[in-house]
Structure 1
C-alpha cells in the first residue's frame, strides 16, 4: 500500500482538561508549538510522507478546527471531519470516523496532542505491507520510553509483540504508547457508532491473542498535556 492510499485519522476531540485555562477558548490541538499548531505539524508531516486523505475528529470548539484547515487544499491534502457532539473516547471516535476514512483494511491514527516533528511516517506506512502479509496482527503501535509524567508505562514490548499486564518480566520493557499507530478496521467490529468506547481494553483483548505488534521509537516525542509542558517545548 502506498502512502496516498492509507487514510489517516487525527484525534482532536478531547476537551483538554489538564490544559486549562489555555484550552477554554482554543481546542488543545490548535495550541502552538514554535509558531505552528500541533495539528499543523501533523498535517505537514503527513503531506511530506505522501498521505492524501486525512480525517480530523472534533468535539470541543470543533468549528475552530474546521475553520483553520478547511478542505485541506492549502496543505496539499484532502481533509474531512468527523464531528462528535460529546467526545466519544478514542475507540468510539475511531468507530464514528470509519465510514469517512473508508479504509480497505489498515489506517493510520495519530493523537492530535502529541508533538513528534521528525517521526518517520513513511517508514510506519511501509510497515503496513508487513502487517498485511503476516495476517496475524490487527494493530501496530509506536511505543516510547516512559516520560516523567507517566513513569509506569502502558504495555510491554516483547520483541515485536506488544503485551498487556498478563506478561511481565525483567527482560521485557514496559513502555508508553505514543498515540501513533496503525489499525485494522476489523479491530473495531462490534462497536456502535455514536457510543463512547476506550481503546485500551480493545487492544488488551487482542494482545491476549498476540495480535498487536509494536516498536520502540527513540526520537523526539512529547505528549503536550499541560500548560507547563507546552511552555517547556516553546522554550527549548
Structure 2
C-alpha cells in the first residue's frame, strides 16, 4: 500500500479541557503524540503518502508534523472546514489524494501495538477491518467475524472495530443513496456503507488480540500513560 489516511478532524469534545487548545491526535501518549505512533507504523510498512483529515485546530498539524519528511513520508492535509465530515465524508473529502489502489485508514485518536503491515494490501472485498475485543466503554461491539474471515452486521459474538482498516475506493460507490448525507459538503458516517457491503459478503476482517486503546477521555489517556 502506498497511500494512507489518518482521521484527525474530530472536535475532541470528550477530551476537554485537554483539547481546548490541542487537537486530540497531537496529545502525548507514552512519550510522543498519538499521531506520531501511526506515522512511524505507516512508514515501517512502506507507505509513502499520508493524507491527514483536519478541522479542529487544523493549523497545528502542519506546525507539528511538517511535510512528513522526518518519517520518510509525504504528508498532505485535507481540511474539512470548521465542522468535521464524519468518517464517510472524511474519506470522500480526501479521496482525490489517495490514489487508485487500496489504502489504509487509521483513526488518529487510538493507540495500539498492532502491526499495520500484517493487514492485506489487496482485500478480497471492498474493505478489511481490524477488530479488537470489546472494551468496557463499548461492551456491545460492532460487527461479527465468522470462521471464514468475513464480517457481518449481526451475530452471536460481536467485536469492536479498532478504527484501522484497508479500503477500496469502490466502497463509496452509490454513497448518496446509502449514507443519506446531512449537509453540503456531505457529512456522513462510514458504517452504512460497510453494512451494505457486508450484506453481499464484501467486508473481511481480522482479530487483533494485543494492546489497543480508544483514547477518548482524559482518564483513558492517563491510564495509557501510566502503563507503558
Q: TM-score, normalised by structure 2?
A: 0.92
The answer on 1:163 being equivalent to 2:152 is yes
1:179 to 2:172 alignment: no
Residue by residue over 1:142-164, the C-alpha shift from the partner in whole angstroms, topping out at 9 and shown as x without a partner, is 00000011101001111201000
Structure 1: how far apart are the matches of 2:121 and 2:200?
19
Counterpart CA distance in 2 for 1:48 and 1:184 is: 21
Counterpart of 2:78? 82
Deviation, structure 1 residue 211: 0.5
Name the structure 1 match of 2:15.
Answer: 19
For the 8 Å contact 2:84–2:90, the answer to whether it is kept is yes
Q: Give the count of matched residue pairs.
A: 218
* 1:188 match: 172
Paired residues for 1:49-128 under 5 Å: 49-85=45-81, 86-102=83-99, 104-116=100-112, 118-124=113-119, 127-128=120-121
Q: SS at 1:62's partner residue? A: coil
Q: Distance in 1 between matches of 2:102 and 2:44?
A: 20
Unaligned residue ranges in structure 2 (runs of 5+): 177-183
- How far residue 121 of structure 1 moved from its aligned partner, in angstroms, is 1.3
Where do 4+ consecutive residues of structure 1 move more than 6 Å? none
Alignment correspondent of 2:181: none
1:205 is the counterpart of 2:201: no
Which of the two has greater helix per residue? 1
Whether contact under 8 Å (2:142, 2:160) holds in the other structure is yes
Q: Secondary structure at the match of 2:221?
A: helix
Displacement of 1:191 in angstroms is 4.0
Residues 6-28 of structure 1: CA deviation (Å, up to 9, x unaligned): 20000000001111111111000
Tell me what 1:47 maps to.
43
Please report the RMSD computed on the Cα atoms of aligned residues, expressed in angstroms: 1.3
Unaligned runs of 5+ in 1: none
Does the 8 Å contact 2:175/2:193 carry over to 1? no
Q: In structure 1, the residue corresponding to 2:224 is in which secondary structure?
A: helix
The question of whether the paired residues in 1 share the 8 Å contact of 2:128 and 2:204 is answered with yes
